[in-house]
Structure formats: C-alpha cells, structure tokens
Amino acid sequence: MFKNYDTIFDFFNKRVMTEGQKLSVFSTMHKFVSKFFTSKKLQQVMEYTMVFLGTSPYEAPALYNLMSHMDFNQGVFYPQGGFYELIRALSNIAEKNGAVLRTNSPVEKIIVRDGKAVGVRLEGGEVIDADLVISNADMWFTETQLLDIPQQTHKEKYWQKRTMAPSAFIMYLGVSEKLPSLIHHNLLFSEDWRKNFDDIYKDPRLPDEPSLYVCAPSVTDPSVAPEGKENLFVLVPIASGLEISDAEKDAYADRVLALMETEMNLPGLREKIEYKRIYTVADFGIDYNAFKGSALGLAHTLRQTAIFRPKNKSKKVENLFYVGAGTNPGIGTQICLISAELAYKRVHGITSAEPMTSL
C-alpha cells in the first residue's frame, strides 16, 4: 500500500511475488471467507467491511480480507473527544511544520499555464500562486469542475462508467437517557444478505431489509454527550445516486428506528429522542462535491484497484497531484492518509515501498 504503482511491472518484486500469492486476488471475498467459516453470522462479520470499501462480498477481490486483519489483529482505536480530534491533530502537525491553513475558502478553478498547475482561483476571484497543486477534493469534481476539458485526464464520460461506492442514510441522534443494551460499535445484519447488497448495487433502492451500524461513542467517551444521555450515529448503507424526498427520509427513519427498538433491545427509543438529524445522498453531494452523492468514493472492484485506479498525478497537467479516496490506495481513513504519503513520495521522487515512518 505504501508504493506508487503505475504499470503491472511495479508488482514484480520478491515480496509481492511470494507473499502476494496468499491473498487470493482472483477469488471473491465471499468464496474466500466461506472456506474458513460455515456460520452465516461469522461470514457476515468477516464480510461487512466490504460495504465500507464500496463493493459487495460477492464481487470484491478476496485480497480485501486484509481489512479483517487490520480490525481483528491490529485493532481499532478511538480518539478521546471524538473523531474530530484526529483532524485537530493533523492541523496542529501541519501548522507546527509551517503550513498555513485556510478554511471556508472554496476553490473555483485550478490555474494552468503552459501545461503546468501554477495556482488556484478562489470563489470571489482571489488567486493563490503555487509551485504545485495537490487536490484532495472528490477526483470527479477536481477533474470535471476545476479543470478545462483539454486538461482533464478523466473526462465526464469516464466517470459515468465508474462503479461508485455506496452512499449512506445516516441519523445523528441525541437520546434523553443511557441505553445499556448498546456498546460502542453495534451491528445488525439483514437476514437476506445477498438481497441487501443487491438493493445497494444491482437494483438501487432504499433497502427493504437494511443492515445497520450503530455507534454509541458516549459509552466509551462521556465527553461527547450530556451527563446521563446518549449520542448515537446510525448508518444504513444505501446506493449512491438515489433521489430521496423529505417524506421518504422521514418514513425510512421511522422504519429504521422501529427496527432498532425490536431487534436491538431499545424499547421506546423514538420517544426518547431529543435531537435528530438525517444526512444522506444529496448532503454528500452538496457538502463534499461527491460524485452521485457517494459517501466513500470510487468502489474497490478488481477493475478499479491498483494500476486500474486513477493515478495520483495528472497526465495532462504538470505539477498537479491527487490524494483521497479516488486514487490509490483507496477508501477509508487510514487508506486516505496513506494516499497523502504516496503523493509526497510522488512529488519527491521516492520509490520505496516502506511507510514514511520507516524511511
């Protein structure tokens, strides 16, 4: 993951050719997991991370069992104070090293002169000159909205043929009392596993029988909710590109809450809600310029992985680089941070496959 791959020949090294053979690249995740687990519930536990890679376990390459290795062997960590503390930490590191951070400054155009990125123009007209430009916006947005057509490596036609990761139906809930039946991370799986994934990927609709992820961070961190109350994040993976009316949002929210009441031992939950905010497909498009309102970005199908994924360097514009979920290695917080390392290596001509902390 810590190496830039441009051609198939970049995979021809001793480690990939020996250890890489164990990753079952050409098997699907479901077939791979089924070799080790006959229990349906255990299979679902091992396959659920595929949702957050933007693909179905019936389609995803088995090499993504690496995600389960990270979860179960390396562990999952929570930043006290909430996830935003990670952003604060990165901000502090950047400023400590001389970076100047400007927020609420939307970019209107990447300025290209003689085939080279030389700065950006902000909404309102201010121009910021630069030796190089690195964009962590949604790559579709960067390419099709911030560059002129001759400067685009991947034009609109390319993106329309891509497979996008799911969006999400999210509820932010403030609950008037503690919920002892919940732990920090809670999963409720659909009984018809394949149908649930088909509702996301093959026949896009709000899932008839959804799978849920419910996070109760206040179980671990009392600072994120008022004393004696609970702070919940409820996520239902849904198809990107869905158009959902306000009435449909409210009806589906009630349906999900009813399901939580009966299946997660939360009787009377709806009456205990003091705050509710629904966030879904259109919101991802408005707030993050996300193509088709995807919550994650470009899906991890075999044809959108490694050398088949958009490169982190523009083919048309010199000194223009990309980071984030649209390029390599792909989707996920840790993975997007690695993409920043890969962009750094690209800028500085570093070819090592070792993490920066090891160099």
CATH architecture for residues 84-162+300-358: 3-Layer(bba) Sandwich (3.50)
User: What tokens were used for 75?
Assistant: 């562990």
Return the pLDDT at 247: 97
Return the pLDDT at 353: 82
What span, in angstroms and rounded, lies between the C-alpha atoms of 251 and 249? 6
Return the pLDDT at 66: 78
Mean pLDDT by 10 residues, the chain (359 residues): 78 67 73 91 85 76 79 86 92 95 95 97 96 96 97 95 93 97 94 86 90 94 95 96 96 97 96 98 96 92 83 96 93 89 93 76
Do the beta carbons of residue 276 and residue 249 sit within 8 Å? no
Instruction: Count other Cβ atoms within 10 Å, centred on residue 113.
Output: 8
Return the pLDDT at 301: 77
User: What tokens were used for 243?
Assistant: 């158009």
Torsion sign over Cα 139, 144, 148, 151: positive
Amino acid at 282: A
Return the pLDDT at 143: 96
Query: What is the DSSP code (8-state) at residue 84?
Result: H
**Chain position carrying tokens 């629904």:** 278
The long-range contacts involving 131-136, CB below 8 angstroms and separated by at least 24 positions, are: 131/319, 132/319, 132/320, 132/321, 132/347, 133/319, 133/320, 133/321, 134/320, 134/321, 134/322, 134/323, 134/343, 134/347, 135/110, 135/320, 135/321, 135/322, 135/323, 136/322, 136/323, 136/324, 136/336, 136/340
Return the pLDDT at 16: 66
Return the pLDDT at 191: 85
pTM: 0.89
CATH number of 167-288: 3.30.519
For the chain, domain boundaries = 8-74, 84-162+300-358, 167-288
Return the pLDDT at 133: 98
Return the pLDDT at 265: 95
Query: What is the DSSP code (8-state) at residue 303?
Result: G
